[in-house]
Each structure stands twice: as structure tokens, then as C-alpha cells.
Amino acid sequence: MNLDHMYQEVILDHYKHPEHKGLSVDKDIQVHHVNPSCGDEITLNLSLTDGKVSDITWDGIGCSISMASASMMSGLLVGKSTAEASIVLASFMELMQSKGTMQGDEELLEDAVAFSGVSKFPARVKCALLGWMAYKDAAFQIAEK
Ligand code: ZN
């Protein structure tokens, strides 16, 4: 992979110092997602309070892309309303499906635009989306309750 050097640093930094890693005791729901093509796994706890993402904690094992992306996802979504979180999620998914043609909306995605280069590599897109899909699933399951 030939990722832009600065973006590579951002991803490695989140991998080494992940945000919200370590599962909370309290949660509304827990989901477990795997990415068999790479061997990445994540367990995610989600709590919603008054329409807001009050807490996301996660634990997992996997490649630097999957773990860094989960770190950025939790950092971005905690504190947002579920509606705002859906907008960020949709923006990240659009970026990851862009096959390298998009730069990403830095206002919405902040550090997560670092994954724009990853979107050129279909095998790694699933790594980058793992944590986000876990959030989406958890939020959906809470809504269904
Ligand atoms: Zn991976």
C-alpha cells in the first residue's frame, strides 16, 4: 500500500493510542463483528441517552486499519445525536466506497479522512468499515427494541 505519509501517521497514532478502547460495564447493547477476510474482530458496547450517543466502548484485535478506524469512529460519534452520528456514518461509508476518488469531508470526518487512500484497496475497505458497521448494527438493534 502506498498511503500518504501523513495519513499513515494518523492511522498509526490511533492504533497505538486508541480512543474509547476497553469495554464499559454499563451498556444498552453489545455487538460482536468480525471481518473474516483479514481476521479483525470487534466487540462494541453502545449506550444511547435522550437521542444521543452517550457512550461507545469497544475492544478488539486486528490490523492497524481496523483498530484505528474503530478508535476514530468512537471518538467522532460519542456525544453526537443519533441523527448526527448517522450523517457521519453515511459520509464515511461514501468515502470508503469511493475507490480513491473522494478526499472525504474533513468537517464531518476529521481524522477519519485519513482512510481516503484505503478506499482504493477493496480488501482493506472491510477493515476500515468494521467498527462503523458494528456501531450501525448496535444503533439499529436499540431502535428495534
Ligand atoms: Zn484488517
H/E element holding 55? Answer: strand 52-61
Distance in Å, CA 117 to ligand 1 centroid: 15
Report, at the CATH architecture level, how domain 3-144 is classified: Alpha-Beta Complex (3.90)
pLDDT of residue 2: 54
Distance in Å, CA 102 to ligand 1 centroid: 21
Per-residue pLDDT tens listing for the chain (145 residues): 455 788 899 999 999 999 999 999 999 999 999 999 999 999 999 999 999 999 999 999 999 999 999 999 999 999 999 999 999 999 999 999 999 999 999 999 999 999 999 999 999 999 999 999 999 999 999 998 8
Cell of 77: 460519534
pLDDT of residue 62: 97
User: What Cα–Cα distance (Å) separates residue 123 from each residue in 25, 42, 76, 138?
Assistant: 34, 17, 24, 24
pLDDT of residue 5: 83
Distance in Å, CA 110 to ligand 1 centroid: 21
Query: Is 134:33 a contact under the CB 8 Å cutoff?
Result: yes
Cell of 30: 453489545
